[in-house]
Structure 1
C-alpha cells in the first residue's frame, strides 16, 4: 500500500474531465512520495475528489462487498460453484484485491484533496476540506468494520512502514472529524462546493451537513455497547444538529458512461441470487418491495431464494441453479449500469437509528414506535411505494416470516410481525429487521449491524469450510491480508496486539461486544 501519488496525479490530469471520473486502471506500485502532491492543480484537486468518491465504491466492490458482506448479511446467497466465501472461507486473493483497490486508488486521491485544500495547502479551502473529511470517514468506516485496526492516521507518511490505528482510536477520530467538519460547513450553508464534480450532492453544502450528522449517529450507535456514555452524547448531539428526515436527503453516487454502477456490472456474472432469509421475510410480510429488490424466477411469477453455505455439489442441484432462483430486479442489471445511481445512505436508516436510540432512553426527539413507523414509511417511499393504505397495512401487519419448501426444509426466519410490539424484548429485533430490509443492498452496513445486535436472526449456513467460524457461528471480521503481512509485517504484528485477539475471523472487533 506504499504508493506514490505521481502516477495518480498524471492520470487525473490526462484523463479526467470536469464532473466525470473515468476508470484509468491500476496505478504503479512504488514508494510513497508526498512531495508529488503539488502536481495537482486546482482542477486536478477537484477531480481527485471525484476519483476518491468513485474509487472507494467501484475499485473493490466485488471482492470487498459482494463476495463477503453481502453474503454474511444474507441479502444474497452464492450460486457460483467455484466460490467458497459463502462457506465462510476468507479467500486471500479476494481480500488482497479489496485492500489494494482501496488503498491503491481511492486513498491516494483523497489524500491529494486533503493536502491541497487543508490549512497551508496550495488551494486551501475550508469548505472543500470539510466535505473531503466527511467522505474520508464514510470510505474508511466499512474497512475498519472488516479488519478492525487498519492504516488510517499515518497513511502516506512516506516511511518504510505504515502503522495501524486501533479501531477505538479510529472511531473516536471519526466522531471528532464529522462534528468538526459539519461545524465548519455552517459558514457555507446555502452554497455549493465542488459543484458537479461532487458525485453525491453536486456540492450542496446543506445536504453534506445532514450526511455528516447522520453518519455520526450511525457510528455512535455502533459503539453503544462498548462506550455507552460517549455514544449517547454523540447520538443526541448529531440528532440535535440535524439528520436525514426525507428521501430528498438520500445519498447516491451518480453514474454515467464513464462511471458505471459496480453492482449492476457484477450481476452479469451470475454469482449471487436472492437469499433464503430475504425470501422468508419478504414473503411472510407480503412486502411490496420484493419486486423492487428481486425478479421472479424466469418464466414464472414466483420469487425464490436459497440458503447460504451450500457445497459445490449442492449448488449443482436443479433448484439452486441461477436459472431457478431470483436474480436482482431490472434496476440492478447491466443494461442500466450507466443510469442506476449507487446507493450510499438512506433517510430511513436515520429513523431506525433514532428508534433504537429512543429504546435506550436517549433524547432522539420522539418515541421508538413513531420513529420505527416513520422509518418504514420513508423506506417504502424511497422505493416508489407511496400509497398511504399500503404503507399503513404493512406497518400494522401481523403476519410473520414463512418457512420455505426447499431442499433444506428451511424454517421461518423469525416469529416477529411488522406491527410494533408492546414487548420490549421484541422491539429491537423489529427495528433492526426493518432496517435490514430498508438498507438493501448495502451489505457491509447490514453485516456490521448483524454482528452488533444479532438481528435479524439469520440462518446458520448449510456448511462452513472455516474451522474458526463454523456454520452456526457469526463471522466477526476478516483477517489481515497477506500482502500487508509481506510488505508491512511489523505494523501487522502491532495491529494484532491492538485487535485484542488472534488474527482470525472469529475475533470480535472493538465495538462488537456480547
Structure 2
C-alpha cells in the first residue's frame, strides 16, 4: 500500500510542487496539503530523486553559499556596497532563506524517495535506497557545518516540534549510513540504478561507491581532532573500499535550461569578485588555473586583480575596488552558459589531498607517501581544469616561489611564505596540503570554509573591517546562528539545541569537530 508522510511542521509547511527543475522536465506535482505529501508512484519517486539532487544545491544558493561560505573561505570578496556579510554580519533574512529553502524544497523530495524505496516501501529497491542515502549525507553535511545541531533524524516525523540532533550524533550517523550504503551497492556493481534520472552519475553504481567512500573520508578527516581513533578507522576503511581516482570519477550535477547552474545565474548580479587571497596565491605560484577561475579586469587581456574581504561601503566605493577594476569569474561561470556549465559536487583531486593528510597522521592510506598523494592531487586538479601538459604540471609541482604581496588599496602582504614544492619540513606540510586542496576545490566555498576552521589553512587574510562584535576582524567565523523562523515556531527544541551546541548561539561558538 502506498504511504503518505508528514513533513516538518515548522519550515516545511509550504506547498510543494516539483516543477521543471531537472533533465526529467516534468516532475510529479505534489498536492497542496500543507502537512503531508501525497504518495508518489514509481516514476514520481525517481523524479523526486532528481529534484532532491538539484534543489539541494540550487535552493537559496546566493543567500546560503555565495554570501557566507564563499566569502568566509575567501574564494571571493563582496563588492556590493549594501551587503554586510563580508564584514561578518550574520544577516538574518539571508540565513532564514537558506534554512527554509533547504528544509522546504530539497528535503521533501528526498523523503519521498527514502520512504518509497526503503524497507517495506511501495517500490522497495536496495540500490535506489542506498544512493538516496548517500545523497542525503551530501545534502546535510554543509548544513550541520553551518549551524551545528540541526533537525535530522526526526525530519518528516510529522511532530509539531522537531528535535535537533547533536552534531556528534549526525556525524556518526553519516559514517554509518555511508558505510552501509556502499556495502549495499557492492552486489550491484556494473549496473545502473535510477538511470538517466540520476543527475550526477546517470545511475552508475561503481561511481556511487567511490563517491560514498570519498565523502566518508572527508567526514572522517573533519572529525579527526575530536574523535581521532574513530576517524582513523573510518578513513582507512573508506580508502580500502576505493575512492575517487581520476577525473572520470568527478561528481558534477547536470544542468539544463530548466535546471541551470545557480552560481552562473548569480554572477549576473555583480556582487562578488576574486579575493585578494586567491590573487596572492595564484600569482605567486604562477598558477595556470587563474584564467580558468577568474577573468582579467575590463580592458585588459592578462591583468588579474583581487579585493580584500571586509571593506566598508565607503571603501568599496574607491575607484580601484570598482567592479570594472577587479576580476570577475571566468566566462565558464557567466549567465550565458548557466545551462551548460555543470555544478561541481566533488573532485577526485580532493581524495588525494585527504590521503596525503592521512599519511601525515599515520593512517594507512594505501600505497603512497604524503608527497606522492600531494603531487597526484595537484596533477589531477590541473587536468580537471584542462591543463594537461606534463611539463607544465611538473614545473608547477616543483615550484619554489611563494605567494606575492599585492599593490592594492590596503597594501596587502603575501598570504604566506610556503611554495608549492612539497617541503621536507613537517611543520609546513599540512599548510601546503590544505592550500593546494583549497585551490583545487574551487568554487566549493563550503569545503573551503570548513577546512579553514578545522586547520587554520590556508592562512587567509583578516578582514579589513567587521561589524560583528562576536567575530571581530581578526577572528574566524565559526558558525552561523539559528534562524528567526525557528525561534518563532520551534523555540523549545531550538533552546535544547543551543545546550547541545555547548556555547552561545552566535558566530564565535565552535562546532563539535572544530577544536583548537
Do Structure 1 and Structure 2 share a fold, with TM-score over 0.5? Answer: yes
For residue 138 of structure 1, report the CA deviation from its aligned partner. Answer: 0.1
For residue 187 of structure 1, report the CA deviation from its aligned partner. Answer: 1.4
For residue 375 of structure 1, report the CA deviation from its aligned partner. Answer: 0.2
Change (3 A) 1:492 1:430: same
1:405 to 389, 404, 407: 407
1:8-54 C-alpha deviation (Å, 9 max, x unpaired): 3xx34xx5598425799999793x33xx442x100000000000000
Tell me which residue corresponds to 1:458. Answer: 460
Q: TM-score, normalised by structure 2?
A: 0.96
2:490 to 484, 488, 493: 488
Change (3 A) 1:307 1:163: same
1:381-424 C-alpha deviation (Å, 9 max, x unpaired): 00000100000000000000000001101000000000000000
Q: Is the 8 A contact 2:20 2:27 kept in 1?
A: no
Tell me which residue corresponds to 2:123. Answer: 123
Change (3 A) 1:397 1:112: same
The DSSP-based 3-state class of the residue aligned with 2:95 is: helix
Provide the C-alpha distance between the structure 1 equivalents of 2:272 and 2:33, rounded to a whole number of angstroms: 32
Tell me which residue corresponds to 1:219. Answer: 219
The DSSP-based 3-state class of the residue aligned with 1:328 is: coil
Tell me which residue corresponds to 1:20. Answer: 24
Provide the C-alpha distance between the structure 2 equivalents of 1:24 and 1:81, rounded to a whole number of angstroms: 42
Unaligned runs of 5+ in 1: none
Provide the C-alpha distance between the structure 2 equivalents of 1:117 and 1:154, rounded to a whole number of angstroms: 18
Q: Is the 8 A contact 1:22 1:259 kept in 2?
A: no
Any runs of at least 4 consecutive aligned residues in structure 1 with deviations exceeding 2 A, and if so which? 1-8, 15-30
For residue 78 of structure 1, report the CA deviation from its aligned partner. Answer: 0.1
Provide the C-alpha distance between the structure 2 equivalents of 1:16 and 1:188, rounded to a whole number of angstroms: 31
Tell me which residue corresponds to 2:320. Answer: 319
Tell me which residue corresponds to 1:446. Answer: 448
Provide the C-alpha distance between the structure 2 equivalents of 1:346 and 1:491, rounded to a whole number of angstroms: 37
Cα RMSD (Å): 1.7
Provide the C-alpha distance between the structure 1 equivalents of 2:254 and 2:111, rounded to a whole number of angstroms: 22
Q: TM-score, normalised by structure 1?
A: 0.96
Matches within 5 A, 1:247-326: 247-300=247-300, 301-326=302-327
Provide the C-alpha distance between the structure 1 equivalents of 2:352 and 2:172, rounded to a whole number of angstroms: 23
Tell me which residue corresponds to 1:234. Answer: 234
Provide the C-alpha distance between the structure 1 equivalents of 2:201 and 2:136, rounded to a whole number of angstroms: 16
Unaligned runs of 5+ in 2: 1-7
1:178-200 C-alpha deviation (Å, 9 max, x unpaired): 00000000111100010111000
Matches within 5 A, 1:72-83: 72-83=72-83
Q: Is the 8 A contact 2:28 2:44 kept in 1?
A: no
For residue 444 of structure 1, report the CA deviation from its aligned partner. Answer: 0.4
1:326-370 C-alpha deviation (Å, 9 max, x unpaired): 000000000000000000000000000000000011000121000
Provide the C-alpha distance between the structure 2 equivalents of 1:70 and 1:110, rounded to a whole number of angstroms: 26
Matches within 5 A, 1:35-184: 36-38=37-39, 40-184=40-184
The DSSP-based 3-state class of the residue aligned with 1:343 is: strand
Provide the C-alpha distance between the structure 1 equivalents of 2:246 and 2:511, rounded to a whole number of angstroms: 32
The DSSP-based 3-state class of the residue aligned with 1:404 is: coil
Change (3 A) 1:511 1:131: same
Q: Is the 8 A contact 1:21 1:54 kept in 2?
A: no
1:155-179 C-alpha deviation (Å, 9 max, x unpaired): 0111111100000000000000000
1:501 to 481, 494, 503: 503
For residue 60 of structure 1, report the CA deviation from its aligned partner. Answer: 1.4
The DSSP-based 3-state class of the residue aligned with 1:188 is: coil
Tell me which residue corresponds to 2:3. Answer: none
Provide the C-alpha distance between the structure 2 equivalents of 1:443 and 1:229, rounded to a whole number of angstroms: 28
Tell me which residue corresponds to 2:513. Answer: 511
Tell me which residue corresponds to 2:329. Answer: 328
Provide the C-alpha distance between the structure 1 equivalents of 2:377 and 2:141, rounded to a whole number of angstroms: 23
Tell me which residue corresponds to 2:383. Answer: 381
The DSSP-based 3-state class of the residue aligned with 2:446 is: helix
